[in-house]
Chains A and B, each alone.
Chain A
């Protein structure tokens, strides 16, 4: 028997009630043996061990009993604490996952605002009315959109994105204008109609 193998001890003494000692007191048992307390044969019963102590001074036994209770309480407290710490660890891991997910979502959620554009930056083309375009700022790029015709431009800055959108609008109008109308579905046809309303060819 080693100190680690002993989980609990039942100490029996003739004429006295049995005392249950906690495993941590295994060393105490060794201590008892060391000072020749005439410890009887150790009976291994799986989780429990019983020993008969034939002659132990009352004061020693009281001290051991007190220590046993103290250590048992401490161990029980540590057990509870351990469970709580494990629970906190799990909660912390879950919180970390949530934070990672939320930060990813935030990264994919742009800062959105609207601005007006009053020209297409192309000679020969003018706008009948300012376009109300949507600016979407992502951490890594800026998008400029005109939702009415589903046109989008992008860039590393707002002016770049707006310039890109203007290019997209001009190209879309050119393509739709030159397309066979029978090959256009309702969406591009409607886009052409909107573009024709807003964009004027000068001269």
Chain B
């Protein structure tokens, strides 16, 4: 199995539940990852599942600033929001 082979629902759920990204309901789903109420990273994902592909997942991973193994941990649950916050604070320029 490839490292980017995820079901769209799992990725969306990880972004929403773990990172608190609130997606809007536009033509494409757009939402922000916020730290202390400040918008930091914008995620944009397809609204319909058929538009998902490896490229979209790769883009989400890239924007999350996580490595592929870290992203797997995020989606598979071991990584909490707090752990992600710590990683992102280190990787985003302040």
Q: Taking beta carbons and an 8 Å cutoff, which residues of A are in contact with B?
A: 104-105, 107-108, 110, 136, 138-143, 145, 150-152, 154, 164, 167-168, 171-172, 175, 179, 183-188
Name A's interface SS.
Answer: mixed
B39-73 toward A: CB 8 Å interface, digit per residue (1/0)? 11110101000010111101100010000000000
Question: Complex: how many Å from CA A167 to CA B63?
Answer: 18
Is B94's CB within 8 Å of the partner chain A? yes
Number of interface residues of B (CB under 8 A): 29
Question: Complex: how many Å from CA A103 to CA B63?
Answer: 25
Nearest Cβ on chain B to A124's Cβ, whole angstroms: 19
- Shortest Cβ-Cβ A-B pairs, 8 listed: A141-B53, A104-B2, A185-B40, A143-B55, A140-B53, A138-B55, A185-B38, A141-B55
Question: Complex: how many Å from CA A167 to CA B28?
Answer: 10
Question: Complex: how many Å from CA A185 to CA B15?
Answer: 19
Question: Complex: how many Å from CA A108 to CA B54?
Answer: 7
Q: With A138-B54, A141-B54 as known contacts, state yes or no: A168 contacts B39, CB within 8 Å.
A: no
